[in-house]
Amino acid sequence: MRWPNGVFVTGTDTGIGKTLVSAILARAWNADYWKPVQTGVAEEPGDTDTVAQLARLPPQRLHLPAYVLEAPLSPWAAATLEDTVVDATSIVPPATRAPLIVEGAGGLYDPIDDTHMMIDLIARLGMPVVLAARSGLGTINHTLLSLEALRRRGIPVLGVVMSGPPSAGNKEAIERFGGVRVLAEIPPLPRVDAEAVDALARDIAPLAECLAALDGAPAEAG
């Protein structure tokens, strides 16, 4: 099967490190970045600016969100609070020549509008998922539940990225029982900056190799 040239980065929870994972993947795969729905801009800069700095992306490699909301809540809750209408079915990915990294908001079951959740948007876009997860206590249960939810919807999972103190046992459990590859482990970083992202990006497998692994086929040359 020919998969879309890119991935959707989602997480097992909110504040799980999706933005850092997105920056690392964008740097590793020389990709564009797009966050369809951005919330929480009243309290901190949007993730697009953060990824641009961390992954050293020029403006032409960044794509503006379809919706920007002030409150640090789910898109549905923020839109309700701000008397704004969000329609998940209106969200269309930008046309790109480069691979595209799409970053979700919150977790799989965060509501976007009155009838759609983040997992519905992922399914509609048809992109493989990279799942951001913690490395510590509780991550096995949270990660396996998220993987099960994705697979019940027929959404392919490219792999998991774990953040936090490395745990060989948790990594093995996720790979064994989740039937998935852990693409990377991000240890606690003294500084989260472009240099750190450069170093972590060097250890990420090529996108073509990862996509080919979904079908158990060898990656095409080039």
pLDDT digits (tens, 9 = 90+) for 76-124: 999 999 999 999 999 999 999 999 999 999 999 999 999 999 999 999 9
Instruction: State how far the Cα of 204 lies from the Cα of 154, in Å rounded to an integer.
Output: 25
pLDDT above 50 (res 61): yes
| 18, 27, 35, 61: the active-site residue | 35
Average pLDDT over residues 26-43: 95
DSSP 176: H
pLDDT tens figures, 115-158: 999 999 999 999 999 999 999 999 999 999 999 999 999 999 99
pLDDT above 70 (res 222): no
3-state DSSP assignment of residue 186: strand
Q: What is the mean pLDDT of the chain?
A: 93
Write out the DSSP string of 99-128: -EEEEEEEETT-BSSSS-BHHHHHHHHT--
Average pLDDT over residues 183-198: 97
Percent of the chain with pLDDT over 90: 89
Q: Distance of CA 63 to CAs 30, 35, 56, 106, 108, Å?
A: 15, 8, 14, 19, 22
Q: Is residue 18 annotated as a catalytic residue, yes or no? A: no
Instruction: State how far the Cα of 67 lies from the Cα of 86, in Å rounded to an integer.
Output: 7
